């Protein structure tokens, strides 16, 4: 069962996913963020403090193998958007042409679908940011990132058994 949980910044999506996962005895928390500065380190620390000590944490955003998930029936992935960020910036994207972004999108899309294939027999809570509700970014790289994330969110939503959209801490059932 794949439950896709979308929302904007500070919408409560991570807390909601954690609340749902608390109902299960054994949870693997897949933390996809990378720490680049002290502010991000603080955010990660707050997330870590909220999680039960009994949960297993895997800090990784790519290169998943079946053994990563074999000992858990419930996986909480927080979050798809940060996974995409890690994959996006593995390449030097400053001087990319539109066709370069297309190749990058194909690579990222494959990685995301490979992950979902590895956990398809599990209960999965997958958190992601809804980036398409804001202004159109000024920079080509930012537009490319927004577009890749938006198209992947659509694909994951179609694949998901359940989709919730978080608004001001309240889940709205979409699917």
**Beta-ladder partners of 7:** 129, 166
Residues 6+ apart with CB under 8 A from 163: 3, 4, 5, 6, 157, 173, 174, 175
From CA 45, how far away is CA 167, in angstroms rounded? 24
Confirm whether 47 is a catalytic residue.
yes
Of the candidates 42, 45, 47, 113, the residue annotated as catalytic is: 47
Which positions are annotated as active-site residues? 47
């Amino acid at each position: 069962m794949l439950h896709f949980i979308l929302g904007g910044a500070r919408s409560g999506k991570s807390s909601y996913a954690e609340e749902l996962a608390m109902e299960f005895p054994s949870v693997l928390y897949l933390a996809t963020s990378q720490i680049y500065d002290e502010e991000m380190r603080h955010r990660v620390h707050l997330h870590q403090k909220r999680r039960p000590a009994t949960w297993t944490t895997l800090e990784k955003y790519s290169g998943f193998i079946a053994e990563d998930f074999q000992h858990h029936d419930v996986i909480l992935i927080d979050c798809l958007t940060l996974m995409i960020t890690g994959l996006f910036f593995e390449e030097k994207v400053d001087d990319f042409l539109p066709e370069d972004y297309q190749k990058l999108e194909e690579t990222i899309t494959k990685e995301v679908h490979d992950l979902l294939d590895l956990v398809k027999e599990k209960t999965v809570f997958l958190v992601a940011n809804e980036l398409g509700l804001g202004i159109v970014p000024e920079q080509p790289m930012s537009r490319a990132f927004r577009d890749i994330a938006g198209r992947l969110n659509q694909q994951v939503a179609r694949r998901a058994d359940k989709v919730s959209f978080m608004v001001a801490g309240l889940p709205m059932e979409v699917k």
